[in-house]
Amino acid sequence: MGVTALKICVCIKQVPDSWAEKKLTAADNTLDRAAADRVVNELDEYAVEEALKIVEAGEGEVTILSVGPVEAADSIRKAISMGAHAGIHIVDDAIHGSDAVATSLVISEALKNRDFDLIIFGSESTDARMSVVPAMVAARLNLPQMTFAKKVEVSAGALTIQRQTETGYDEVKSSLPAVVSVVEKINEPRYPSFKNIMAAKKAPLETLSLADLGVAASSVGQANAWSAVSAFADRPAKPAGTKVVDDGNGAAQLEEFLVTAKFI
Amino acid sequence: MSDVLVLIEQTKGEVKKVSLELLAMAAKVGSPVAVVLGPGADSTSGLLGEHGAKKVYVDSNEIYVNQIVVPTVTALTSVINELKPVAVLVPSSADSKEVAGRLALTCNSGVITDASDISADLSVTQNIFGGATIVTSKVTTGTPIITVRPNSIAPVTGGATAEVIALAVTHESGSTSVTNRVAVAKSGRPDLSEAAIVVSGGRGVASEDGFKNLIEPLADLLGAAVGASRAATDAGWYPHQFQVGQTGKTVSPQLYLASGISGAIQHRAGMQTSKTVVVVNKDPEAPIFDLADFGVVGDLNEVLPDLTARIKARK
Ligand SMILES: Cc1cc2nc3c(=O)[nH]c(=O)nc-3n(C[C@H](O)[C@H](O)[C@H](O)COP(=O)(O)OP(=O)(O)OC[C@H]3O[C@@H](n4cnc5c(N)ncnc54)[C@H](O)[C@@H]3O)c2cc1C
């Protein structure tokens, strides 16, 4: 660990509970957020945990940032209750329906000039699943993109990660500040302690609008997105398959199915 | 015909099958132009032409593997500015999705990820929410940048010799450097995200030995890739590289054989679009049966060895 205190920002997203069934809204083809409980994107919890581990190994402060509707404040406090120190909530009606391009713009504008040493994301959100916002934020802030980390090491002004790849991992180095995203194998997120839950209720939460950030409403929101959904439909239900109970004959029946379907 | 740019994924000249699929997808929309980067790139143009590429832009510079994502974005941006293609297709891998994201910014273009189909008017089909909902969308600004899932279309052969163009790109000094590459030993089995058949095991397989003795032999007889649920990779029974699901690989094989897997929503997210699903599970209520074309309610310790022996006997 370096001698100086680290300032870390963790960007989180409030999403519908991934265990619940998700639906799109017919009115505007966006996610129906009322249809499911709202939770912190599970993959962001690994980002919060990693940030806390880094500052606990030395010294520093962890700030939670989220762009989202009024209710997202609950998720920010939930993340703070893991042990973080402060929150930034960017909320503005105009943001509804924004694409990744606009979301990354809002996050970057909120982060610039704040001197964070590390900006940490989860590897993707469980609802949109695009996995592009961390890379876009790195590009916009012109910072090293250190994404898909399964291990993170910070030492005096330098960062080393193990970047998960299709075949194993790459060791990658960069300087600080940097933008990091972490995969779920990196750690085991902690449960909030009672003390931290109480502290989170009083933690400072900065609430900012697009005007506060100097972002024009015309560059965000569904109407200004660079891609648009034109239609959606439920996947046609699969006709019920055959189900047999193994009475010693199960493998033979399965074999027959595979033969008929020409797999063997 | 208008050019459609395709980012080819390759390692030391070995082209990934998804890249050839993307050339076939590009041909539905326009004239496929391949961009192939990194060491080995210069040995691929024959194969790419054969699979429908009309032109191949090549740069074998090491920089593409020594830094994360940025050099690839720089190269693609320069080709896009020169050619003004009608669309850019990249594979839906972690790396290439990040390339797509950054490309959207350098080209002021909309990006759509995880397409399963693209039509001639550039409408994109996606399966979202783990395959439960089918969405049609379109990029409305700039050059559409689309990431395409593996196994969405069959590669097409019979193409002619492609025109090869050496790409000269000026790169800025990078901010990341790859200092070491660690690969898990190659198994000789087909690549998980590209395999036609996947034999997958979960918590019910119960141990590392279970994978070795029950799952792998069956996979090898079928010429299949091995997959695993998160419960199995978390337990250390099988490496994470083989995890199927939301935080693992997304697969769309002809046949997915799931044994000892309950079918949690996060697992289904990675395999729901498989053409045929076969299940072995001792719990008749396991949600995975909802997806099964054929399901056996039974103990995998009985069913799998018997099935393996039967298939072996047929050969
Ligand atoms: C953010 C997040 C991301 C996730 N990402 C993924 C992911 O990418 N992939 C993934 O798979 N999961 C993922 N999960 C985990 C997922 O929720 C489930 O916990 C996991 O898929 C369960 O694995 P399983 O089906 O093997 O185990 P279980 O749910 O425990 O099911 C085991 C099944 O095996 C059967 N069984 C047991 N013994 C036998 C036997 N002898 N013979 C036959 N059947 C037997 C049981 O009946 C049961 O149905 C994720 C979870 C979260 C929160």
Q: What is the pLDDT of residues B165-194, one digit of tens each?
A: 999 999 999 999 999 999 877 778 999 988
pLDDT of residue A90: 98
- What's residue A1's pLDDT? 42
Q: Cβ < 6 Å from ligand 1: which residues?
A: A 42-43; B 202-204, 229-232, 243-248, 260-262, 264, 266-267, 270, 280-283, 286, 299-301
pLDDT value at position A2? 44
ipTM of the complex: 0.91
**B296 token code pair:** 């056996």
Mean pLDDT of chain A: 93
- Indicate whether B313 pLDDT > 60: yes
- Which one of B198, B199, B200, B203 would you pick to mutate in the ligand 1 pocket, going by the greatest count of ligand atoms within 8 A of its CB? B203
pLDDT of residue B298: 98
Spatial distance between the Cα atoms of B189 and B226, rounded to a whole number of angstroms: 8
**What span, in angstroms and rounded, lies between the C-alpha atoms of B281 and B259?**
6
Average pLDDT, chain B: 95
Domain regions of chain B by residue span: 3-166, 197-314
Nearest CA in chain A to B306: A251
CA separation for the pair A253, A172 (Å, rounded): 50
- Mean pLDDT, range A173-192, rounded to an integer: 96
Atom of ligand 1 nearest to the CA of B228: 11
HEC string for chain A: CCCCCEEEEEEECEEECCCCCCCECCCCCCECHHHCCEEECHHHHHHHHHHHHHHHHCCEEEEEEEECCCCHHHHHHHHHCCCCCEEEEECCHHHCCCCHHHHHHHHHHHHCCCCCCEEEEECCCCCCCCCCHHHHHHHHHCCCEEEEEEEEEEECCEEEEEEECCCEEEEEEEECCEEEEECHHHCCCCCCCHHHHHHHHHCCEEEECHHHHCCCHHHCCHHHCCEEEEEEEECCCCCCCEEEECCCCHHHHHHHHHHHCCCC
Task: Select the residue of A104, A129, A144 nearest B175 (Cβ to Cβ).
Answer: A144
- Global confidence as pTM: 0.91
Homologous superfamily of the A6-224 domain (CATH): HUPs (3.40.50.620)
What CATH number matches the domain at B3-166, 3.90.110.10, 3.40.50.620, 3.30.1490.390, 3.60.9.10?
A: 3.40.50.620
SS (H, E, C) A131-178: CCHHHHHHHHHCCCEEEEEEEEEEECCEEEEEEECCCEEEEEEEECCE
Selected residue with higher pLDDT from A109 and B184: A109
Same fold for the domain at B3-166 and the one at B197-314?
yes
Q: Do A132 and B129 touch (CB under 8 A)?
A: no
Average pLDDT over residues A116-143: 94
Look at residue A257 in the predicted model and tell me its pLDDT: 98
| pLDDT score at A21 | 67
Average pLDDT over residues B9-19: 96
| pLDDT band at A157; cut points 50, 70, 90 | confident
- Give the chain B residue whose CA is nearest to the CA of A247: B298
> Does the B197-314 domain belong in CATH 3.40.50.1220?
yes
